[in-house]
Structure 1
């Protein structure tokens, strides 16, 4: 059984542990009533350890309503058992010492039950605060990673846009010097288009950071429309043959950061293409269980080792693609790299379908 499933069941395991202690207390004190022929002592003792056992049961119920992750809930259960074991061991050791000293021990079950229940309660409390501390530490790391991610995203994507703008600005300047520039030339259009894209990237960085922190408001968004728009822009910017097979609509669950996903995958297919006749084919398929974006190029291709490396956030060369992978996983999707036939790579982005209407 995996740790996630165990963590999910931990509150019920704690409740079960408390129920077992309660049952032992009831049986034990019922036996005492019969043996002693009196009610007061056994009933008072039963109320004491029975109440503590019910507190353990409630602790499990309470844990189920907290926002701790399954692995932290599992640790709470382990703390509960550990606390009970330690308290029972201490109480048992004290009883053994009394027996070794020759002192009379009336009965040991009652104090051992009290010890087990008290230790279980203490363990749940301690385990919860340890889990809460771990959760806060994870949240702090996530925020730090989100900020680092957004910084990398801005540096990578804006650098690409600004390099294109600078190149076309220089081309336009050369045309002006030669006296053959005309209003509305391709360079002017590209500069305006890339400037708009750069501003759009800045606007979406906040959304991307929220996605990385797991706080994004995801909604239906049309992958087909975004892909068509970006594919046309890439073809105009890089003067490369980009063919498409895109349906009228392919709605997925994502947010504005999806534009950066498509943009990075397409630009990667163009930038690293060393073919004499570079080509890129873009396909969006919404007929399966997920919506798939496939970007195939006829570039140099990647070995299995390179495929893993370019998707790693620790590798500079694959910076844009590692950003894509993190975003896609934030949408509960998957990014993978396949071999193209006869040459090149295919980048596949799988995303969950969206409902026809936003939920």
Structure 2
């Protein structure tokens, strides 16, 4: 049997009827004014109106007033002889008074076609629209939370910090340790707001616009921010970074902030040492951040980038390295942990980013 004989080269009238009845899409025929000339049998299941109830009615009367003009403009192309290939989304009133969302396209039949009118094909997208609206609401709530974290909470923490400094002259030796504890907790809370801000930014951004970012200036900037809180730590930036730039955005600062803090806070040495080097590898740049801490066991080299992984029983929220991986993968890059080549103490975090 040939390929052609096994297939359906032509459909009978009964087959066409069955095809229309079984499809999940609604097929309609309307005239140039929007008057309904035909509705496929499944129309009642979706719209609630029987086929007889809609015949002779103007479909525009059932479209939401806020969508009506936009739909009219979109389907005006049919009267000009052009198909409406891009779906037009709008709300349509059901018989029970509720609104559903439809996505509709339109076709102009061939001149010799027996169909007198324009053919529209619609599908019910109400569930998708409800999900989109729920996600938008969640994003709006997250935006509000982000604003509270960025401004209100950080402002209050700044007030606490200021008054703590003023108390220095009024606290005796016995109360000094409590004041120091207050200041440390305040600093940790401030760091939490930064982490929350960065996490929110990563969640909310819809797309990443990459541009050349010089590595050394970013790393130097973050070291200058971290160094005052870790006076015993030594940061060494290799000259190999001086002329290198990668494709990234402003979140690259967050990447190195978390990697450098991780190298110091998870360090068990009295004098933490962190060395940052880089090398070109074809179209990418490999950046290595090495510390002299306890290292990362093989069993944790992958899981350490997960949410709520605090690593080696140290302070922190547990999402810093998770943030790092999310940002880096958003750039199209990779990050992993390896042991130092000399097998001495420490861990090496390797970033692979596209070279600018």
- The bucket for the TM-score relative to the shorter chain is 0.3 to 0.5
* Larger RCO (CA within 8 A; separation ≥ 6): 1
Q: TM-score normalised to the size of structure 2?
A: 0.47
Q: TM-score normalised to the size of structure 1?
A: 0.46
